[in-house]
Structure 1
Amino acid sequence: MAEVNNSVATKRIKLGSILIVLFLLLYVPSFIFWVYGKNVSTDIVRMGDIQDSINLDAVIVRSEVVLNSPIGGKCIKEIDEGEKIGTNGRIATVLNKSSEKLMEELKALDIKIIEAQRKRNENLELFSDDLKKLENEIEGKLKEIIKLGNSNELAKSSKLKGEVDELIQKKATIAGSLSKPNAYIQSLLDEKNNLQRRINQNTQDITASVSGIVSYVIDGYEAFLTPDRISELTLEDIENVEEKGIQKDIEKVGVEEGKPFAKVITDIEYYLVMILDSKLAKEYKVDDGIDIRLNDLGKVVTGNVFYRSNNMDGKSIVAVKVSNAASETAPFRKINIDLIKNQYSGLKVPLRSLSNIDEKNKIAEICLVKANRARFVKVEIVGKNEEFAIIKNIDNKNIDSDNVNSYSVSLYSSYVVNPINIEEGQTIN
C-alpha cells in the first residue's frame, strides 16, 4: 500500500514539474518582453537633408552714397525702401513749412472743387431733361405747322411759327449756359493754379546722382564700412559695430535741412564680414564658393570668399562677396547667418541613435529592430551635424568578413532611437 502511495505521489510531482516548466516557457518570455521591451523608443529611417553649419553674426559692408536734404520740411517719397533708382531719378520731394500750410489749403480747395462739380452735374441732368422737353415740343409744333400749311390755314400757321421761334430761343439760352464753364468752379480752379505755383516755388525735388538701391536707414557707418577698407578692419572694428540704424517714416517725421535722410547702395554686390576661429578660417580660401543662410530673411545665398586675414589671437576675419538679396538686406548692417560648411542628403537618423562612432573612419553602429530583436549593424557616416547624421550601408568589400552580417539599413527600417544599454538580440517592443 505504501508503495502505491509513493508511486502516485511521484507521478503527481512529475506532472507538477512539467506544468511549472510549461508555465515558465510560456509566460516568462512574455514577462521579460513586457518589462524590458515596452519602454524602448523606436522610429523608422527616413530620407532627408542636413547641413553642417556655424551660426554667427556678420557685418554687411557695401558701397553707399548718403543723400542730404537741401531744405527742411515735409517729405513725399517717390521711391520705397529697397527699390532701385536710375541716375538722376527723383527719390523724394521736399516741401518747406510754408508749402506745408499751402498744401493743406490745396487739399481743402480740392474738396470744394469736387463738391461744386458734383452739384453742377446734378443741375446738368435737370437741364438736360428740360432740353429734351423743348425739343419734343418744337417737333410737335413743326408737325402742326406742316398740317396747317397743307390746309392753307396761314393765320394759325403764323402763330405757331412764333411759338416755335420762342422755344428755339429758350433752347439756345439753356444750351449756351451749359456749354460755358461755371463761374464759381472756374474761380476755384484759378485759385488752385495760383496755390500750385506758390507751392512749386517752395518745393524741391531730391534726385540721385548715381543709380542703385534706395534705403532710408542711416547708421553712420556708410563712410567707414566700405569695400576698399575691408583688409584694414580689425577684430575690434567688427565687434564694435552696432545695429543702430532705424528706418524712419520720413513722410511722417519730415526731413531736416543739411541732414542725411536716405542713401543709395551703388552696387548689387555686398560683403558679409565675420570673425572665425583661425583653424576654421583656414578651410576657406579666397574665391572658394560658399552657401550662407540669412536667418533674418529665411533665405540662402551663394557667395565667394573675398578676403581672409592672418591669425589675430586665434581669430581671423573672413569676408564673403554676395550678389543675391541686395534689396532685402538694404536695411541691415548686422545680420545673423549660418555659414554652411557641407550639405548632405540620404538616409537621415538622429546622431544620438548611433553608437560606437569611429570619427576617423566615419563608421558607427545603428540598432535595427528585426523581428522584435535588437540587431546592431555597422554603417558609414556620410555626414553629420550636431543633431542628425546621414548614413549608408558599408561596402562589404571594405570590412573584414567576420564583421559582415546579413542585416542592412534601408528606407523605413525600424531602429532604436536611444541604443544605450540595449544588447544584441534583446527583445524590443
Structure 2
Amino acid sequence: MSAAKTVQAKEGNLAASYSGQAIILRNETVVRAPRPGYLVRFLPEGSLVRSGQVVAELKPPPSMEKNRESINLPSPTPGFVCYHPDGWEDVLVPERWSRLDLAGLFKNFKGDVGDHSQVSGAGEPVFKIIDNLSEPYLVIKLDKVGKDDLSRGDAVELQWSGGSGKGKIVGTKAVGEILLVVAEVLQAQPGLPDDRLLNLKVIKQECEGIIIPAEALVQHEHSTGVFTYSPLGFRFLKVDVRGRLGDRVAVTGIDPGLEIVVNPWVATRIQKDI
C-alpha cells in the first residue's frame, strides 16, 4: 500500500459538546403580601395552578390575631408555583434578553433566596407563578469556545442534572475566550428547575452520514471525493459533503466499511505514475 494511510468509513453524526453555566429567563408573576404575617402554604412547590386558585394563606402575626383574619392568596395567572422569588423576576424576562448586559449578568447575579414564610412588611414577595405556556430562554456562558462554533439559528440539545431539552440559539456574543449564548428552550423533559442558575451541556449536532477525516477529501477530475484502498488498488469515489465540524466531515456517496485514504496525494501520485 506504499505510504498511503487509511481509516475505516463509519456511519455516525457530527456533534460537539460544550459545558457551561446558564441563567434562566422566564415570564414570572410575583405575589406580594398585603400586610405583615406568616405564610401557610396550601400547595407544594411546583404545583400547576389555574388563575384564581388559592395557593397560600397569610395569617396575621400573633400580636394581631384577635383583630385580623387570615387572607387567602390566589394565583393571578395559570402556571407553576414557586415559593422562592429571587428579585430578578422583572429583569430576567425572555422578551428583554437583547437589552441585558450579558457579560455583566453572571458577575452581578446572586441566586441566593431567603425564606419568605415570615413577612415583616406589606409588599414583600411571598411566592411567584412561573408561566407554563411561554418558552423560557437561557443565557449560557461557555468557556474556550470559538465564536463561530455556535451561531444564531443553530438547533442544539440541552442537558442538565435531571433533565434535557431542545433549544434554538437566538443570539451570541464573544467576550475574550468566553462565548455568551442566548437560547430559546423549545422542549424540556422534565421542565427546567426552579433555581435560576444551573450547570448544563450544549450539544450541537451537525448532521448524519459517513464520518471521515476532512483531510481525506480531494478534488479529482473536477469532483469532490475520496480515494479508497483495497487489494485491487486505489479507487476514486465522488461524495457529497453534508457538514463539517473541526477536522471531521459527514459525507454521503460511499458505504461504511471502506478503507478511506487520509493522505490522498499518495493515491493521486501513484495514479499519475501508472
Q: TM-score, normalised by structure 2?
A: 0.63
What is the CA distance between 1:329 and its match in structure 2? Answer: 1.6
For the structure 1 residues 280 and 227, does the alpha-carbon distance in structure 2 shift closer, same or farther, using more than 3 Å as the test?
A: same
Alpha-carbon separation, structure 2, partners of 1:388 and 1:322: 28
* Alignment-derived partner of residue 382 in structure 1: 242
* Alignment-derived partner of residue 232 in structure 1: 99
What is the CA distance between 1:208 and its match in structure 2? Answer: 1.4
1:219 aligns with 2:86: yes
Kindly provide the amino acid, as one letter, of the partner of residue 385 in structure 1: L
Match of 2:164 among 260, 283, 299: 299
Alpha-carbon separation, structure 1, partners of 2:87 and 2:81: 16
How many percent identity over aligned positions?
17
Note if contact 1:269-1:326 (Cα within 8 Å) is conserved in structure 2.
Answer: no
What is the CA distance between 1:332 and its match in structure 2? Answer: 4.0
Please state which structure has a larger fraction of its residues in helix. Answer: 1
Note if contact 1:302-1:324 (Cα within 8 Å) is conserved in structure 2.
Answer: yes
Unaligned 5+ residue runs, structure 2?
none
Please state which structure has a larger fraction of its residues in strand. Answer: 2
Alpha-carbon separation, structure 1, partners of 2:84 and 2:101: 24
* Alignment-derived partner of residue 412 in structure 1: 257
1:250-281: CA deviations, max 9, x gaps?
Answer: xxx88212554431123522223457999749
* Alignment-derived partner of residue 137 in structure 2: 271
Note if contact 1:268-1:323 (Cα within 8 Å) is conserved in structure 2.
Answer: no
What is the CA distance between 1:60 and its match in structure 2? Answer: 2.2
Note if contact 2:37-2:61 (Cα within 8 Å) is conserved in structure 1.
Answer: no
Kindly provide the amino acid, as one letter, of the partner of residue 130 in structure 2: I
What is the CA distance between 1:86 and its match in structure 2? Answer: 1.0
* Alignment-derived partner of residue 256 in structure 1: 118
Report the 3-state secondary structure (helix = DSSP H, G, I; strand = E; otherwise coil) of the residue aligned with 2:38: coil
* Alignment-derived partner of residue 162 in structure 1: none
Note if contact 1:362-1:382 (Cα within 8 Å) is conserved in structure 2.
Answer: no
Q: How does 1:102-113 map to 2 (within 5 A)?
A: none
* Alignment-derived partner of residue 88 in structure 1: 52
Alpha-carbon separation, structure 2, partners of 1:226 and 1:321: 12
Kindly provide the amino acid, as one letter, of the partner of residue 271 in structure 1: Y
1:318-345: CA deviations, max 9, x gaps?
Answer: 64444533971242424535274x6312
Alpha-carbon separation, structure 2, partners of 1:240 and 1:362: 52
What is the CA distance between 1:235 and its match in structure 2? Answer: 3.6
* Alignment-derived partner of residue 141 in structure 1: none
Report the 3-state secondary structure (helix = DSSP H, G, I; strand = E; otherwise coil) of the residue aligned with 1:66: strand
Kindly provide the amino acid, as one letter, of the partner of residue 49 in structure 1: N
Note if contact 1:235-1:275 (Cα within 8 Å) is conserved in structure 2.
Answer: no
1:208 aligns with 2:75: yes
Report the 3-state secondary structure (helix = DSSP H, G, I; strand = E; otherwise coil) of the residue aligned with 1:264: strand
Note if contact 1:270-1:326 (Cα within 8 Å) is conserved in structure 2.
Answer: no
Alpha-carbon separation, structure 2, partners of 1:390 and 1:358: 14
Alpha-carbon separation, structure 2, partners of 1:263 and 1:51: 38
The number of equivalent residue pairs is: 251
Note if contact 2:83-2:128 (Cα within 8 Å) is conserved in structure 1.
Answer: yes
Q: How does 1:132-171 map to 2 (within 5 A)?
A: none
For the structure 1 residues 348 and 41, does the alpha-carbon distance in structure 2 shift closer, same or farther, using more than 3 Å as the test?
A: closer
Alpha-carbon separation, structure 1, partners of 2:224 and 2:86: 51
1:11-67: CA deviations, max 9, x gaps?
Answer: xxxxxxxxxxxxxxxxxxxxx9xxx9xxx9964x33323346766544322221223
Match of 1:71 among 29, 37, 40: 37
Higher Rg: 1
Q: How does 1:4-403 map to 2 (within 5 A)?
A: 43=8, 45-51=9-15, 57-68=21-32, 71-72=37-38, 75-81=40-46, 83-93=47-57, 205-227=72-94, 229-240=96-107, 242=109, 244-245=111-112, 255-258=117-120, 260-266=125-131, 267-273=133-139, 280=148, 284=152, 290-296=154-160, 299-303=164-168, 305=170, 319-325=182-188, 328-335=191-198, 336-338=200-202, 340=204, 343-349=206-212, 351=213, 354-357=214-217, 363=224, 365=226, 368-371=228-231, 375=234, 377=236, 379-386=239-246, 388-393=248-253
For the structure 1 residues 245 and 50, does the alpha-carbon distance in structure 2 shift closer, same or farther, using more than 3 Å as the test?
A: farther
Report the 3-state secondary structure (helix = DSSP H, G, I; strand = E; otherwise coil) of the residue aligned with 1:263: strand
Alpha-carbon separation, structure 2, partners of 1:97 and 1:85: 27
Alpha-carbon separation, structure 1, partners of 2:73 and 2:90: 21
For the structure 1 residues 295 and 282, does the alpha-carbon distance in structure 2 shift closer, same or farther, using more than 3 Å as the test?
A: closer
Note if contact 1:77-1:93 (Cα within 8 Å) is conserved in structure 2.
Answer: yes
Alpha-carbon separation, structure 1, partners of 2:249 and 2:223: 11
What is the CA distance between 1:78 and its match in structure 2? Answer: 1.2
Q: TM-score, normalised by structure 1?
A: 0.44
Unaligned 5+ residue runs, structure 1?
1-31, 99-197, 394-408
Alpha-carbon separation, structure 2, partners of 1:96 and 1:76: 14
What is the CA distance between 1:415 and its match in structure 2? Answer: 5.0
Kindly provide the amino acid, as one letter, of the partner of residue 338 in structure 1: V
Alpha-carbon separation, structure 2, partners of 1:254 and 1:243: 17
Alpha-carbon separation, structure 2, partners of 1:228 and 1:392: 41
Alpha-carbon separation, structure 1, partners of 2:105 and 2:223: 37
Alpha-carbon separation, structure 1, partners of 2:147 and 2:159: 24
Alpha-carbon separation, structure 2, partners of 1:210 and 1:364: 59
